[in-house]
Amino acid sequence: MAAPSASAISKLHPQPSGDEATLAKLGYKQEFRREFTPLEVAGLAFSFFGVVPSITSVLFYTIPNGGPVAMVWGWVFACPFILCTGMALAELASAAPTSGGLYYWTYSLASPRCRNFLSWIVGYSNTIEMIMGVSSANWACAIQITAAISIASSDQTYTTTNQQLYGIYAALGLSQAVIVSLGTKVLARLQRLFTLVNASLCFIIIIALPIATPPDYRNSPNFALGEFTNLAGWPSGFAFILSLMAPLYTIGGYDASVHMSEEASNAAMAIPWAIVSSVIVSAFLGLGINITLAFCMGTDIGSLFDSPLGQPMAQILFNSLGQQKALAIWCLIIIAEYIMASNCLLAGSRQTFAFARDGALPFSRYLYRINRYTGTPVNTVWFEIICSLAIGLLSFVSTQAIDAVFTIAVTASYIAYITPITNRWVFKNDFKPGPFYLGKLSFPVSVIAVVWMVFMSFVFFFPATPQTTAQEMNYTVVVLGGFMFLAISWYYFPVYGGVHWYTGPVANFTPATRDEDSISERKDEHDVDIYVEAVDV
């Protein structure tokens, strides 16, 4: 009897793809469909940044803290540091492309004495970052919708209540949850449309605004590139530093594409290049937009900050384009903001799924589920939105309380970024780089990124003005501190706390799905080395 051919054997026992094999080395089985192409992953990262809607949302930080100088030169100053952070994370993403990302890398690279705790903290910081990202984008979108009503009204004034704003905010989140619950293939193809909308909006602003702006609102180069306006009351140097919130919020959330690792083809290359390319493209487009605004905003900076439309960008567009054209572009900004929030929810749901897969979240057994119809983690999508709806209730406390979601999104992400980057160099580990590797530049880039993030994290705890009250204080430290206190308390809670049962990432292979040549060596392993060994079992 003839021996079976190699092709016949491969049909009976299909070999895993390169992506699946890489994921298997990290201790996980393939559970998602890999429908995202490298370009779609990059498009997701670019749309997640949402350059125009993000700049629109955070002009409140730049206009009173430096005006044109902060908008242009603050952007130029911050972007090299942003790129260093992105490249440091891209190296880790290339070495271990998994949806868990940051907390997985933290555990893999830390000392056995502290890796469980550090992984726990990073995982919760990352979860908070994603929930706050959805919340901040949807809150900004709700405000932008009310600004659209103001633009369309006869006298450009429209007053809204907190209840109405929260209703819009909730409707946005619930509708996004429906979209993000769709299948992976649909979500992947949508990224093409999302990328087109965001890129087109950037070029519309850069090209149309200078052409249409009346002479009365056109600024000289001396004003656009050299006028420093300080309306906040801080010393000018510190005011300039506070204005850096704008570029850091705009080009933030580098880990969005990381959490799509298990749905991307050629993830070890696609994910890091998505991070780096989206940062570079967004940096240049953002600079072009800020220069355009500085030349077309007029000289009365105070009137923009106190605009009856409620948004400085809306007032700039109205002054330059008139009511109808301004309203048309403003509607595109709202759509781009909605896309940004949707992609944040998409990435956040995958991070939550991964963290639940390793048993770290409340109700993990219910969150770690793939919907049989869509092939996506629908439960974690709705978990994120429910948490976001709860965060939105801060709007009933004060404006400053809900505005804190913008800075919390950045500071929580920095906690999650700093830890694995630092672990790589501080602790003894067997880090083996992936295809994306900086070589000799790796260490200095990591040092620059960590020092930058530590410094800016402290800056973001300061209030908007030096003279502040309990109502007007910066609630970032209160809200973020409260969340981190709960996370640490649960970890050390007597008997039931995570310290008693959380052991870091947990392999989810069954004997039937493990590779025969690796099962025995993984079974008793208790160490994790990125890209080589499996996680704790």
Tens place of pLDDT for every residue, the chain, 537 residues?
444 444 443 444 444 568 888 888 888 888 888 999 999 999 999 999 999 999 998 898 899 999 999 999 999 999 999 999 999 999 999 999 999 989 999 999 999 999 999 999 999 999 999 999 999 999 999 999 999 998 988 776 777 888 999 999 999 999 999 999 999 999 999 999 999 999 999 999 999 999 999 999 999 999 999 999 888 888 999 999 999 989 998 998 889 999 999 999 999 999 999 999 999 999 999 999 999 999 999 998 888 888 888 889 999 999 999 999 999 999 999 999 999 999 999 999 999 999 999 999 988 999 999 999 999 999 999 999 999 999 999 888 878 788 888 888 889 999 999 999 999 999 988 889 999 999 999 999 999 999 999 999 998 888 878 877 776 777 888 888 898 999 999 999 988 898 999 998 888 765 444 443 333 333 333 343 443 333 333
> In this structure, what token pair is assigned to residue 384?
């994120």
CA angle, 259 then 403 then 118, to 5°: 40
Residue among 405, 348, 522 at smallest CA distance from 142: 405
CA 191 – CA 193 distance, rounded (Å):
5
Which segments of 140-206 are extended strands (E)?
none
- Ordered by start, the domain boundaries in the chain are 26-516
| Burial of 5 per CB tally in 10 Å (0-12, 13-18, 19+) | exposed
pLDDT recorded at residue 78? 96
Distances (CA, A) of 517 to 24, 31, 286, 404, 523: 12, 21, 50, 51, 12
pLDDT recorded at residue 25? 86
pLDDT recorded at residue 16? 53
Q: Is 233 left (phi over 0), alpha (psi -120 to 50) or beta?
A: left
Distances (CA, A) of 285 to 40, 293, 325: 19, 12, 22
413-445: burial string, b at 16+ Cβ within 10 Å, e else: bbbbbbbbbbbbeebebebeebebebeeebeeb
336-348: burial string, b at 16+ Cβ within 10 Å, e else: bbbbbbbbbbbbb
* Residues shown for the chain: 537
The structure's pTM equals 0.88
pLDDT recorded at residue 405? 87
Distances (CA, A) of 347 to 91, 131, 260, 342, 350: 19, 10, 6, 9, 5
**Amino acid residing at 137:** A
| Residue whose structure tokens are 């026992």 | 13
Rg value, the chain, Cα: 24
Whether 265 contacts 37, CB under 8 Å? yes
H helices present in 363-441, as ranges: 364-367, 378-392, 399-426
pLDDT recorded at residue 237? 92
3-state helix, strand, coil in the chain (%, to 5): 70, 0, 30
**Chosen CATH of 26-516 out of 1.20.1740.10, 3.40.50.1980, 3.30.450.20, 3.30.200.20:** 1.20.1740.10
Q: Give the phi and the psi of residue 524 in degrees, each rounded to 5.
A: -105, 5
**Amino acid residing at 40:** E
CA 109 – CA 429 distance, rounded (Å):
6
